[in-house]
Amino acid sequence: MRNIFSEDHRAGTVFIIVGLALAAALAWQGTASPQFVLFSILQYFATVAPVALGLGLTMIAREFDLSVGSVMSLAGCIAASIGAADPVTGAVAGILGGLGIGLLQGLIITGLGLSSISVSLGVLMTAAGLAYIVTGNLTVSLDRPELSAAINAPILAIFSWRSLLAIACVAVSAVIFRWTRVGVDLVATGSDRAAARTAGVRTERIVVAVFTLSGGLAAASGVLLSYGLSVASPSGLTDVLVPAISAAIIGGVSLAGGRGSPMGIAFGTLILCLLNAGLNALGISPTAQQVILSAVLFAVAITAAPRFHRLLAR
């Protein structure tokens, strides 16, 4: 008899069930129009999905990019500071900054053979510090209401430019992952690094690429979020690390590497967004939602733990 907590489906199954239950709760409440509900789900998706995607890809490679949260807020701060004068330059600067930081991280990790957790911790703190310097420890207001309206304007009732970009990122990554050599090499790098190297895979290039991408995606999310809200704050506009990790693991990414995919990560993010919307619809306060989200993360950490099955076997 197959245990429901078997290898591939552990955390995911439970939360698909929870997510669907909450979707049902949403439908039942019916206070807001379905379009609006979908729109807000996708807006939250637009914030979390790129970050979860970047982080998830590093996890598939059996690494971990802790810095995604601060890179996101740094990019937002850079973009907002420059964007008051010229939004396009601001956005480009922010995203290039993210790509640059990611590239640097990847090079340090592979060039010196260091653990990605410790390096990304250092980058996390440095990027946070830079954000404070860029903004002078102030919240930067963009004062471009037409820009934020445009970014968040509903397209086809449920999308916005932000969410469309996030969906595009997912789609492009999914295609590359599923249909090209790069995806194969990525999975091999995370699945068994030594075997991949022996077979001839350029694992170092893969790691550098994945960290660069992670930085760029986090930056993109941060830039668009700041533009959309017309404000940037050095302490970050939203805590994104916890939802990103949860989304990735729910979506099938394994901490041990080699498992998961962009589609899975997107799926996991959607579940999370559904959870969020469902809880909102049920009138649960944001603080209580925090508690529930933490319970989700705990459950995820426990069920994904290597020795969890021993607990079950007792």
Partner 1 sequence: MTNQPGSGDPARLSVRGIAKRFGSITAIEEVSLDLHRGEVRALCGGNGAGKSTLVKILTGVLPPSEGRLEIDGKPHVFRNPVDAQRAGLTLVAQELSLAPDLSVHDNLWLGHAEAPFARRTARSAALAREALDAVGLEATGLDVKAGGLSLAERQLLEIARGLVRNASVLILDEPTATLSEREIAKVFDAVRRLKAVGRSVIYITHRMGEVYDLCDSVTVMRNGRIVTTQPAAKMPRDRLLELMIGRELTDVYPPSTKPPGTTMLEVSGLTAPGAVEDFSLQLRAGEIVGIVGQIGSGATESIRALAGLVHDARGEVTIDGERLRLGAPSAILKSGIRFVSEDRATEGVFLDMPARTNLVATRFPEVSSAGYLPPARLGRIAGFLARQVGFDPSRLNLAAGRLSGGNQQKLAIGRCSDRSAPGVILMNEPTRGVDMGARAEIYQTLRRLCDEGNAVLLASTDLEEVVGLVDRVVTMFRGRIVSIHERGSFAETVILSEITNAREAA
Partner 2 sequence: MSVASEISPSPVQSAKERRMTIPSPPTLAKLLAAALLVGLALSTPGFLSRPSLTALANAMSLVGCVALAMTFVTLGGNIMSFSLGATASVTGIIFMALLGHGFVVAALAAVFAGIVITALQGAIIGALRANPIIVSLAAYALLIGLTQIVVGPKMDAPNLDYQFLKGRIGGIPISFLVFAGAAVLAQLVVTFTRFGHELLLVGSNARAAEAAGIHVTRVTVLAYALAGALTAIGGILIASRFGSADMQTARGFEYTAIAAVLIGGTAIGGGRGSMIQTFIGMAAIAVINALALLQGFSMEFQRLTIGLAVLAVVILQGLGRRN
Which residues form the interface with partner 2 (CB under 8 A)? Answer: 64, 66, 108, 112-115, 117-119, 121-130, 132-133, 136-137, 239, 241-242, 245, 249, 255, 285, 287-291, 293-295, 297-298, 300-302, 304-308, 311
**Tokens linked to 51:** 């970050």
* Residue 209 near partner 1 by CB under 8 A: no
**Tokens linked to 259:** 């498992």
- Give min distance, CB of 271 to partner 1, in A: 22
Please check whether residue 75 is in contact with residue 218, taking contact to mean a CB–CB distance below 8 angstroms.
yes
- Give min distance, CB of 19 to partner 2, in A: 18
Give, in order, the Cα–Cα distances in Å from 192 to each of 34, 70, 116, 118, 186. 45, 30, 16, 21, 10
| Residues in binding contact with partner 1, number by CB under 8 A | 25
Judged by CB under 8 A, the residue of 29, 40, 191, 238 near partner 1 is 191
Residues 152-181 that bind partner 1 (CB under 8 A): 178-181
Q: Which is nearer to partner 1, 188 or 277 (CB)?
A: 188
Tokens 């789609």 locate to 171
Judged by CB under 8 A, the residue of 199, 288, 295, 311 near partner 1 is 199
* Residue 183 near partner 1 by CB under 8 A: yes
CA–CA dist 217, 2 (Å, integer): 38
* Residue 192 near partner 1 by CB under 8 A: yes
The stretch among 18-26, 139-147, 152-160, 188-196 that binds partner 1 (CB under 8 A) is 188-196
Judged by CB under 8 A, the residue of 9, 144, 197, 205 near partner 1 is 197
- Give min distance, CB of 63 to partner 1, in A: 16
* Residue 10 near partner 1 by CB under 8 A: no
Question: Going by C-beta distance under 8 Å and a sequence separation of 6 or more, which residues neighbour residue 130?
Answer: 74
* Residue 11 near partner 1 by CB under 8 A: no
- Give min distance, CB of 233 to partner 2, in A: 13
Closest CA to 160 of 224, 244, 73: 224
44-81 burial, b at 16+ Cβ within 10 Å, e below that, comes to bbbbbbbbbbbbbbbbbbbbbbbbbbbbbbbbbbbbbb
CA–CA dist 92, 214 (Å, integer): 16
Q: Which is nearer to partner 2, 147 or 282 (CB)?
A: 282
Task: Give the H or E element holding residue 202.
Answer: none
CA–CA dist 155, 201 (Å, integer): 42
Q: Which is nearer to partner 2, 2 or 307 (CB)?
A: 307
* Residue 17 near partner 1 by CB under 8 A: no
- Give min distance, CB of 313 to partner 1, in A: 8
Binding mask 243-262 for partner 1 (x = CB under 8 A): ---------------xx---
- Give min distance, CB of 132 to partner 1, in A: 36
**Tokens linked to 169:** 């990122």
Question: Going by C-beta distance under 8 Å and a sequence separation of 6 or more, which residues neighbour residue 162?
Answer: 43, 46, 47, 151, 152, 224, 225, 228
Triad 117, 170, 27: Cα angle to 5°: 105
